[in-house]
Homo-oligomer: A and B are copies of this chain.
């Protein structure tokens, strides 16, 4: 039940635990993309309206969030800016704007939110993050191999191991239409129907193909594409088609390149994988995982799209990871949130200044530390607070400690309490943390500043 305090429909507030989980995933992806020599690009949240309109098709144009003119022109009700709808159109604009100032080829990644006024649903948001990597300006299959392997490595680095990359190409699909004598004018519609093979039964797809005017070849085509040995059958079927054969040669070249990096069986030739987007011009691929509908990511070569989007006419290849879907996979759950390593109790208001100085001493040991900021001085409440913060230690200081010149360091796991000379707190904690924190991830600790 939405309240007046909920974020707008289709958007989320990311509290600490969820935020950290996502940031860690983005850091992993950035690190892998960087290792392949892709460099970051960040463009503004909004673009001039004319940069976006007419680039995505009429249905998508309706989903663009438009921003009202400001000042006196606001009353006109007209828009002049719009929130970015993807990261590719801004890339095309940047390629046009900066031209030779960019390296050639330009290998860039971009990880950032995009906005679409889609109907919100499970895993479908109006504000969501895209993780794109693209190489503009290289027609080499080496460029496709890099994009494909960088994306693969990012998934593996995220802990996703049970997935397959389906590989196909636009040339192979065109060759298939040719080999099965499907008239050019219905070719695109035939491909759209074939794309339904993972949702509909073969018989239903055959029926739809026959509705388009296909005869016996509909059944032949669907049987060949759904057979257990379909990739071998299609290799044979493509022989009469020049572009089919050429497409296969490109795919085999790409398979040979990536076989240096990918584990055996990770990537397969999948002649029935169509991939909906019409702009691809060469190899196309999709990452599928068992039990997950749709794909974790995909990509392909799209040699003329950048020009169509307003940029220079350069060959291009790129890919995208569906981070929202990846984060829903088993094993991707957020870990427990540790806000503090050291919680410092304030047992007596008159010792607040001492307590603060113990937090300072704890931070000097490179640890996350804070004093209790509440008004109740009760020990039980402050220990609960320390536990809620995920603290490993709680520092206690009262009149007894003051008299002895010590602080009491309580291990929050064992309950064991150790008196430590007040002046030696930093050294004591650094040493204790060096022992008990060893082997944990850096997310749980911070290094000394």
Chain A positions near chain B (C-beta within 8 angstroms) = 3, 5-8, 11-16, 19-20, 23, 31-32, 34-37, 39-48, 62-63, 65-68, 70-71, 74-79, 81, 83, 93-94, 96-98, 102-105, 107-108, 113, 115, 117, 127, 135, 137-143, 145-146, 149, 153, 157, 256-257, 260-261, 310, 337, 339-340, 346, 352-353, 355-357, 359-360, 363, 366-371, 373-375, 388-389, 446-447, 449
Contact = CB atoms under 8 A, between A and B. Distances in A.
Given A20-B40, A260-B360, A373 B449 contact: no
Q: Give the oligomeric copy count.
A: 2
B43 A7 contact: yes
Contacts of A137: 373
A68 B68 CA distance: 6
B375 A140 contact: yes
Given A36-B368, A44-B11, A66-B67, A78 B81 contact: no
Contacts of A12: 44
Contacts of A94: 5, 13
Contact of A62 (B5, B6, B36, B71): B71
B143 A373 contact: yes
Nearest first, the 8 closest Cβ-Cβ pairs linking A and B are A77-B77, A37-B370, A5-B97, A11-B44, A16-B39, A138-B373, A14-B42, A5-B96
Contact of A81 (B44, B65, B93, B257): B65
A449 B35 contact: yes
Contact of A8 (B46, B79, B388): B46
B66 A68 contact: yes
A10 to B, nearest CB: 9
Given A13-B43, A44-B12, A369 B35 contact: yes
Contacts of A260: 353, 356-357, 360
Contact of A449 (B23, B31, B138, B356): B31
A43 B13 CA distance: 5
B449 A32 contact: yes
A217 to B, nearest CB: 37
Given A7-B93, A13-B42, A65-B67, 19 more contacts: A8-B44, A8-B48, A11-B44, A12-B44, A13-B41, A15-B41, A31-B449, A35-B363, A36-B369, A45-B127, A62-B71, A65-B81, A67-B68, A67-B83, A68-B77, A135-B373, A145-B356, A146-B373, A257-B352
A161 to B, nearest CB: 14
Nearest to A371: B142
Given A15-B41, A35-B367, A67 B67 contact: yes
Contacts of A32: 449
Contacts of A447: 31
Contacts of A41: 13-16, 19
Given A70-B65, A98-B15, A142-B352, A370 B36 contact: yes
Nearest to A6: B97
Contact of A77 (B78, B98, B371): B78
A78 B138 CA distance: 45
A12 B12 CA distance: 26
A3 B138 contact: no
B36 A363 contact: yes
Given A11-B44, A44-B127, A368 B35 contact: yes
A341 to B, nearest CB: 9
Nearest to A258: B356
Nearest to A44: B11
B7 A47 contact: yes
Contacts of A8: 44, 46-48, 81
